[in-house]
Chain A
Amino acid sequence: MRINIIGAGLAGLSAAITLAENGVKSNLISSMQSERAQSVMAEGGINACLNTMGEDDTVENHIEDTMRGGVYLADNKAVRGLCENAPEIVKEFYKLGVPFQTNENGIVQRNFGGQKKKRTAFVKSSTGKMLMTALIDAVRRYEIEGVIKRYPHHVLQQLHIRDNKCQGVTVNDNYTGESVTFGGSVILASGGMNGLFSGLTTGTTQNTADVTAMCLENGVELANLEFVQYHPTTISIPGKRLLISEAARGEGGRLFVVKNGKPWYFMEEKYPELKNLMPRDVVSAEMVAVTSMPECEDQVYLDMTGLDKSVWKSRLSDLQEQVLHYLALDPAKKPVPVSPGIHYFMGGIWVDTEHRTSAQNLYAAGECACQYHGANRLGGNSLLGAVYGGKVAARTAMKESAPDKQTERKNVQPYTEASPAFRDSVSQILGNHLRILRSENDLNQALAELDLLQNKAANPAEIRLLALAKAMVNGALYRKESRGAHRRTDYPVINPDCQKQTIVKNTKVFYREINQL
């Protein structure tokens, strides 16, 4: 048995090493080597109830914060698994050599958005990179043994699904142009849908959304596409948005807007308990609200000038360097102008608690999958979700895969991809209309504009990208309420009847009870 894994970021690596530890072989297929995956960009930390900060933290608290942060749209059973396994996952990374900051009680944890206890383990503001380096090194020993076989410049060209059963994949070698088909089960770990918002996200250009689009094309169900996370603190740099980690606020950074000539620390006034560390959906929406007020200026600032020198040195030196480099201003001395930017996709390929997709022998984990985060993800839960999801997907795939399903054959189909110009057109439409606040008018306008692109879609990759864009807008139209990252001006409150997942299958949209099937 050899299982095919698409994507070599944190979720893909986690799946590969889980399989390898159980003696199961895998093909680890990725468009670039793991060092280029988006996981290396994750900054602030990874959540786990280690209870090292004297705050009587419990796993139940972690579950509660995750469910509340996701506005009760996550699968409770899955979230329980995530949070219960989190401490062990962080300890495993420590054993793999991740230099987490420690003190006499063990691994130090910092405050993070939407969490009432200090629960985020970290290495400065480079946690994703540190986890990735450790895991890449750990996976390497299985590469030597041939247990994990890397295909580091290969992209998914075709998902073979017949009668709702996944038979394997055809992948294309970016360097030679040759294609090869592998039979067997498939774990998708291909990342979020940045490619629908080209140039508008904090993530990588390599997360093109093509794998998710291919799922839609093949009748695999997608879920909750309308939940797009706008991170409150990003800045514009050439070609993209740059994240200023939530760690800045976790360590004491404050948001203000100039109101009637004076700084107004609006989050502290409006939310006295969690203040600047409210969940990201709330902070971003408040930033839109205050900058629309006539008495306020239209720029929000992140004020880190009150932070101790020791915090800058031991916990945020990399963040300070980054801001100095890109904005030529020292965040220790001057507030940083920030605005919300697209950072994460809570929705994606529908999976059940065991990470099965709606097609047999096809699994998904990491940001490409819709799991754990409900209507809004908490900071520090994405690294955790990727590692844990990869493990669960691997265990399920291993149990359900037929041992004799391993074939390999050359294939000669031409590979096509969406042109940058076509991608930019789709991105412009979605960026204009799928903002933090949406309305039926906006969304219908988006659909009309996407329809005009129909004739310009010149190849299969462009046709399915357009279909995915429409599916996302249709999901947003279907959900007639405001919840988490989905805020409708025409339906401004939560509707308890909508505490369900929005499922898109082919061109149909419908609700499904959470944790059903």
Chain B
Amino acid sequence: MKLTIEIIRQKDSASAPYKQTIELDALPDDTVATLLNKINARDDLKDINGNPVGTIHWQCSCLQKKCGACAMRINGSPALACDTKLSACKRGKLSLEPLRKFPTVRDLIVDRSLMMENLRSIHNWLEQSAHHTGKAADLCYDASRCIQCGCCLEVCPNFMPDGDFYGAAAFVPASRILSQLPKGKKYDLVKKYGKHIYSGCGKSLSCHHICPAGIDIEHKLSNSNAVAVWKRFFK
């Protein structure tokens, strides 16, 4: 298939972004990840203005939607490059941009350290041995699948990088911990939940539909709220 690719390029964090357009033949069954690898293996590729394309910087690791490294904006929506086939491109057009809610490092690479920082800030760990209940087992499994890609934050109308609300990338992992805390103590995570999760969420649930791991995010949110806000611990 003939493909016209528009990529937002950026040399480094201090430089201004610019758009580069490339036209090439591609295989519809290839993913965006495969396409990027193929482009980077070529040293002769030029854009439509005759400028060399060079190496397009992006992140990837597992190539099978288990690690979240390759999240980027694909045709306007956040998605994993390894999970998006070129056949999904309408009218032979593909646009690639870095996620916008995180600072750009270079080309399609963004610095997502903020997600790690937010999980540290809400003390997202078990303060004591896990309290396993049959009821919570499926929830724990589903919540533990979060790949910290950041797609949920990208579409969230309430998450801002410098804001107090930490979004699904924090409350999904938190729901695992909250479901394994026995009733009794005043846990740090419970104390911090209100400010950083409950009071900031406008319940648009755009995160629920975008999650590349297919996590039932709404379910995680309602369960976390039940524990952290209404103190309905799992028994």
Tell which of B13, B62, B137 touches A99, judged by Cβ atoms closer than 8 Å. B137
**Interface stretch among B32-40, B152-160, B203-211?**
B32-40
B141: chain A residues at CB < 8 Å are 99, 123-124, 126, 130
Enumerate 18 A-B pairs (CB-CB under 8 Å) in ascending A order.
A32-B59, A32-B61, A32-B67, A33-B148, A36-B68, A95-B130, A98-B144, A99-B137, A126-B141, A133-B145, A137-B124, A143-B120, A175-B111, A204-B61, A204-B62, A239-B63, A240-B63, A326-B64
CA distance A381 to B60 in the complex (A): 26
Residue B180 at the chain A interface, CB threshold 8 Å: yes
Please, what's the 1-or-0 string for A7-47, where 1 marks a CB less than 8 Å from any CB in chain B? 00000000000000000000000001101111011000000
Tell which of A36, A99, A144, A174 touches B140, judged by Cβ atoms closer than 8 Å. A99
A143: chain B residues at CB < 8 Å are 120
CA distance A124 to B141 in the complex (A): 9
B106: chain A residues at CB < 8 Å are 175
Please, what's the 1-or-0 string for A117-145, where 1 marks a CB less than 8 Å from any CB in chain B? 00000011010011001100110110110
Minimum distance in angstroms from B212 CB to a CB of chain A = 12
Minimum distance in angstroms from B69 CB to a CB of chain A = 5
Docked-complex contact A94 and B119, CB < 8 angstroms: no
CA distance A238 to B65 in the complex (A): 12
Please, what's the 1-or-0 string for B161-197, where 1 marks a CB less than 8 Å from any CB in chain A? 0000000000001001100100000000000000000
Q: Is the interface of B mostly helix, strand, loop or mixed?
A: loop
Residue B123 at the chain A interface, CB threshold 8 Å: yes
CA distance A8 to B147 in the complex (A): 15
B30, B66, B113, B177: most-surrounded residue (chain A CB, <10 A): B66
Q: How large is the interface on B (under 10, 10 to 19, 20 to 34, 35 or more residues)?
A: 35 or more
Closest partner residue, chain A, to B59 (CB atom): A32
CA distance A41 to B147 in the complex (A): 11
Docked-complex contact B126 and A97, CB < 8 angstroms: yes
Residue A237 at the chain B interface, CB threshold 8 Å: yes
Tell which of A38, A102, A126, A137 touches B62, judged by Cβ atoms closer than 8 Å. A38
CA distance A144 to B109 in the complex (A): 26
Residue A402 at the chain B interface, CB threshold 8 Å: no
Residue B116 at the chain A interface, CB threshold 8 Å: yes
Closest partner residue, chain A, to B128 (CB atom): A95
Docked-complex contact A421 and B43, CB < 8 angstroms: yes
B62: chain A residues at CB < 8 Å are 36, 38, 40-41, 204
Minimum distance in angstroms from A201 CB to a CB of chain B = 10
CA distance A206 to B63 in the complex (A): 11
CA distance A194 to B146 in the complex (A): 25
Please, what's the 1-or-0 string for A199-215, where 1 marks a CB less than 8 Å from any CB in chain B? 00000111000000000
B130: chain A residues at CB < 8 Å are 94-97
Q: Could you tell me which residues of chain A, from 46 to 73, have a CB within 8 Å of some CB in chain B?
A: none
CA distance A187 to B140 in the complex (A): 32
Please, what's the 1-or-0 string for A314-334, where 1 marks a CB less than 8 Å from any CB in chain B? 000000001000100000000
CA distance A40 to B106 in the complex (A): 26
